[in-house]
Chains A and B, each alone.
Chain A
Amino acid sequence: MSKKILLEHAHIEGIETFDTYRKNGGYEALEKAIKTMSPEAVVEEAKKSGVRGRGGAGFPMGMKWGFLAKPEGVPRYLVCNADESEPGTFKDHYLMKTIPHLLIEGMIISSFALGANKSFIYVRGELMYVINILQQAIAEAKANGFLGKNILGSGYDLELVVHPGGGAYICGEETALLESLEGKRGNPRNKPPFPAVKGLYQCPTVVNNVESIANMVWIINNGGDAYAAVGVGRSTGTKLISASGHIKNPGVYEIELGLSVEEFMNSDEYCGGIRDGHHLKALVAGGSSVPIIPANLVYKTANGEDRLMSYESLSDGGFATGTMLGSGGFIVFDETACIVRNTWNFSRFYHHESCGQCSPCREGTGWMEKVLHRIEHGHGNMRDIDLLVDVAKKIEGNTICPLGDAAAWPVASAIRHFRDEFEWHVKYPKEATRPGAVYMGEAELV
């Protein structure tokens, strides 16, 4: 059994209610923090834990908290990013609906640490039923004196507001999220300044992912050092992985970072292996934005080392032979999956979701979608494949926010590793575009 930091109590009947959560040790970390620790001491534990942002970028949380500007007389804000829209990612959804008080308790501890008196949870609007669950949890926390004015007699006041989005992937990007929270379109801002200096209403703001914040409960109960002892190297702690695609047991799993990819994929405790009678063809390890890798690079890196579920090991080999941990959206493809069709599908997604501010992203995503549609539907030519690589290169690094890169990487990596499959679509359009047709050529299957 792997270490459980977030989901230890997730399977207990009624854990979404205050009473059951409390009976299982809930709100003890909050009591400890507020009654016995200073805000600085809480930040110190976050730093010691080494926990890295679970929204995908992996930036050390304690360091970010340390960067928060503290000008006199200006309010500071904590905003929880629960916009979760990255294809393949559904862990925050699971955490919030299953054990909402873990997020609420984490929010109160983190707000206390940062000196915020009003904090926001920005939840994608589609998850209205989860918003209702969170509202209920907030009401319960308030009724029990853990939230509101003068929490546990400490003199510390906090109000938590749950804010629904309106359906826009880009609002998961933290500065777009802040614009959206101000009642505007979700157009990302230029960084720097980072939100820690100029964020919500131009005030210093920390934006953290749901899972990042939920980790604070265990960190306060057990200490940052104990957290840092879990995991491997700079990938400390556990990670929620959303597993989908052609595996036996899709779902959300908590793993200790450093678990081997092979065990995660094939053990019955996790994915349970590729569905019966099929073979692994490819993997996207961290949500649709990260590079896709072929089967022969999934369990071993190009150097022949075991591939581990960690920030470092998954990205080992860089773009040539690696992928990324990202948001933990583990999407598995077996030999029945058409890489061209999937790449086209993802490109359409990014084109649809581009906010349109930068021309390389707005136009480039449109081009890629169009060209991929052409190839997938049997009207492509060989030059189109190089054209795609070229467009992807021109987007990369030339935009305000990383959505442009996120659109370019899946295309570039799919062509890098599965070029023969794109060529096959061009050479045999009739065969390739038959429903269910998949190239079975030279790709190595495991």
Chain B
Amino acid sequence: MNQVAEPIAFTPERQKRVDQMIANYPEGRQKSALLPVLHVAQEQWGWLSSEVMDHVAKLLDIQPIEVYEVATFYTMFHLDPVGKNVIEYCRTGPCCLMGAEDVYSHLKQKLGIQAGETTPDGLFSLKEVECLAACGWGPVFQIREKYYMNLTNEKVDSIIEELSQ
């Protein structure tokens, strides 16, 4: 609650992308742009607060409830604040066959947190996700747009160290 009450607005560059997204769909079907626009919003604010969702509703000329409904259905959207790097690691069967369970316990130990938690310095959050369509290259996690594949304990160490700089 101690946030500065700034008016919510996309940066000019992002607003341009949002306008283009809306123009991608037929006249009167601007609601179709909801998922793409929510991704841009999460890119800017890191997570989707109700203020941000209300802003998106206004831009698309739909009811706020239509945005909440969607944002809560899809697992990629963070509805609470998260750390700077959200590590989304795949816990599904094929990755487990590739040794994922051991690598992830190492990851958790290294960061000292469990899935759903954020490190005290706010640098890392952990999130369990389902199959990322990279099963043969598992174990795998993603941080924002980047996929990290064929993970080993050593690889995990160096990724964490690099992102801690």
Contact = CB atoms under 8 A, between A and B. Distances in A.
Interface of A: 75, 84-90, 92-93, 118, 124-129, 132, 159, 161, 163-169, 180-186, 201, 242-246, 250-252, 288, 329, 331-333, 337, 341-342, 345-346, 349, 352-353
Interface in B62-81: 62, 66, 69-70, 73-77
A128 B77 contact: no
A398 to B, nearest CB: 23
Contacts of B24: 159, 161
B70 A185 contact: yes
B1 to A, nearest CB: 28
Contacts of B131: 85-89, 169, 288, 349
A418 to B, nearest CB: 15
A166 B38 contact: yes
Nearest to A435: B101
Nearest to A181: B32
Contact of A201 (B29, B91, B132): B29
Given A126-B76, A184-B70, A185-B70, A87 B34 contact: no
A274 B137 CA distance: 16
A242 B136 contact: yes
Contacts of A118: 26
Interface stretch (B5-13, B92-100, B116-124): B92-100
B22 to A, nearest CB: 11
A242 to B, nearest CB: 6
Given A87-B131, A164-B36, A331 B145 contact: no
Given A89-B133, A161-B24, A168 B97 contact: no
A250 B133 contact: no
B113 to A, nearest CB: 21
A331 B94 contact: yes
A129 B135 CA distance: 17
A238 B94 CA distance: 24
A168 B73 contact: yes
Interface residues of B, number: 45
8 contacts: A87-B94, A88-B94, A88-B131, A125-B35, A168-B74, A183-B60, A345-B96, A352-B130
A124 B39 CA distance: 12
B146 A342 contact: no
A246 B94 CA distance: 9
Contact of B31 (A93, A164, A183, A246): A183
Given A125-B76, A182-B31, A246 B134 contact: no
B160 interface: no
Contact of B93 (A127, A180, A242, A288): A288
Q: What 9 pairs between A and B have smallest CB-CB spacing?
A: A166-B74, A250-B136, A167-B76, A183-B31, A183-B34, A167-B75, A244-B135, A185-B73, A244-B136
Nearest to B35: A166
B26 A129 contact: no
A126 B133 contact: yes
B146 A129 contact: yes
A349 B93 contact: yes
Contacts of A86: 131
Interface string B28-48: 010111111011000000000
Given A166-B74, A345-B92, A352-B130, A125 B39 contact: yes
Given A118-B26, A167-B75, A168-B75, A346 B93 contact: yes
B32 A183 contact: yes
A342 B94 CA distance: 9
B36 A163 contact: yes
A178 to B, nearest CB: 10
B33 A183 contact: yes
